Structure 1
């Protein structure tokens, strides 16, 4: 399957057209003109210009047509999903977090009877095999405490599963679980569109695409930024869960490009990325600190 992008303007046209080629079929999707606002002060931009709002909308639709949606669920049960998300996250590479998750899963961490904090700590102290290397898991003591508390709560209580926000709020009562991790679990397990997983990659996309206010940070303004993200996805006409996963994947995979746009490195832009606007220079330090 092959997906491509086209800009199709006719004289006086107010639309731009994205063409998606799938084997012998061609699907045309119309988008508003680049200077049309998707939200007040937020232009759609060209569909082929990474990372404009039109670019993100096009990518979501292309993945849908290709039946290539991002599979973000990590566990087979809610206990496992909580464990996988809790053992990953900030400061822990994805490969290491998943290795730790699978290690404690094999030991029986997610069986009916939750293991004690001491047992979990013993398991997390054991070496992990990651990409053919033997490594030690960072923050073993801290994560063992958090995971023990989470598994005990899941064992003794029935979590609300009627909405992403309800599950997130329930998870927030667990020591060591903040908005990002709780939202991550809720989005993954319930395929929820009423929460967003906000990290450095989503924040950078929001600043570059102008759908986040520049004076807000994830640490202090999570719910405000989340509301802005949900409004943005609704305005694009796409699911928040799809958009969140897609932006994270592409931004994480294009860090050299992003750093170049933000003036954080000397690498030449990829994919026809426009040169960095001068006004972004003032926000480079904020983004670096959050990362």
Structure 2
């Protein structure tokens, strides 16, 4: 058994986790609680944030339209602070009211410079995102989205141009606080590879649903909510990119060293192959 402590003022809470060699799920050991980024480390960090009231607030909008807009304007190729700034910029101009603005109007707003940290920044992909956001707001204005669970909302959102599994899952997790979906990006993928709970031959682009299933199974093994774990992993992996690259680099070097030291295969003799066949 591993014992950790969480300090709150004068109160100390003890956290007990299984021993390092025990398995969270088949083939995945808990690892040491203090070692980033082991499964035990993630479990401890989730519990610590719960007890201290420091859970990550991942909801971005006050309405579903706003949440869709915020997630659409962020994502791949757009720094988080730029995506959030673009969302606040178009919201201030009335993008998420009852009457959706035209695509041209959205484009005009997105082409305006954004003020970030006392400097002016241009939003990338303005024309593309204006088209996607216009289609999303039109759909949300005339249709009633299913809100029973994360997967139903995600599947409904997938019909919108420019919204794939990651963005749709992001909206569903944020808006419904859903634990039946996962937001899988490069940070979560790296966490899964380092923690050995993702199969290394799967990619987010081709195997999103398989990886999502593995992530949710892993979170259940830890005894934590998938939504909490996803948000925490993303924040820490993103904030510790140098450490992550160093760890992954060492793993790559070990793999190359093992490959170099592996006995070389003898060249096959065609006659022997014929005999085997």
TM-score by length of 1: 0.86
How many residues are aligned here? 257
Question: Distance in 2 between the 1:189 and 1:138 partners?
Answer: 25
Partner of 1:183: 169
Task: In structure 2, list runs of 5 or more residues that go unmatched.
Answer: 258-277
Pairwise CA distance, 1:280: 5.6
Question: Distance in 2 between the 1:281 and 1:100 partners?
Answer: 43
Q: What is the DSSP-based 3-state SS (H/G/I as helix, E as strand, rest coil) of the residue aligned with 1:50?
A: coil
Partner of 1:73: 59
Partner of 2:17: 31
Question: Distance in 2 between the 1:246 and 1:276 partners?
Answer: 23
Report matched runs for 1:109-258 at 5 Å.
109-258=95-244
Pairwise CA distance, 1:202: 0.2
Bigger Rg, structure 1 or 2: 2
Question: Distance in 2 between the 1:156 and 1:125 partners?
Answer: 27
Find the partner of 1:97 among 83, 90, 97: 83
Give the 4+ runs in structure 1 shifted more than 6 A. none
Question: Distance in 1 between the 2:53 and 2:121 partners?
Answer: 36
Q: What is the DSSP-based 3-state SS (H/G/I as helix, E as strand, rest coil) of the residue aligned with 1:28?
A: strand
Q: What is the DSSP-based 3-state SS (H/G/I as helix, E as strand, rest coil) of the residue aligned with 2:60?
A: coil
| Greater helix content | 2
Question: Distance in 2 between the 1:74 and 1:132 partners?
Answer: 22
Pairwise CA distance, 1:276: 3.9
Question: Distance in 1 between the 2:255 and 2:42 partners?
Answer: 20
Q: Does residue 53 of the first structure (1) align with residue 39 of the second (2)? A: yes
Question: Distance in 1 between the 2:8 and 2:110 partners?
Answer: 46
Q: What is the DSSP-based 3-state SS (H/G/I as helix, E as strand, rest coil) of the residue aligned with 1:192?
A: coil
Question: Distance in 2 between the 1:214 and 1:277 partners?
Answer: 13
Task: In structure 1, list runs of 5 or more residues that go unmatched.
Answer: 1-14, 264-274, 283-291
Alpha-carbon displacement from aligned partner over 1:191-240 (angstroms, at most 9, x marks no partner): 00000000000000000000000000000000000000000000000000
Pairwise CA distance, 1:262: 1.2
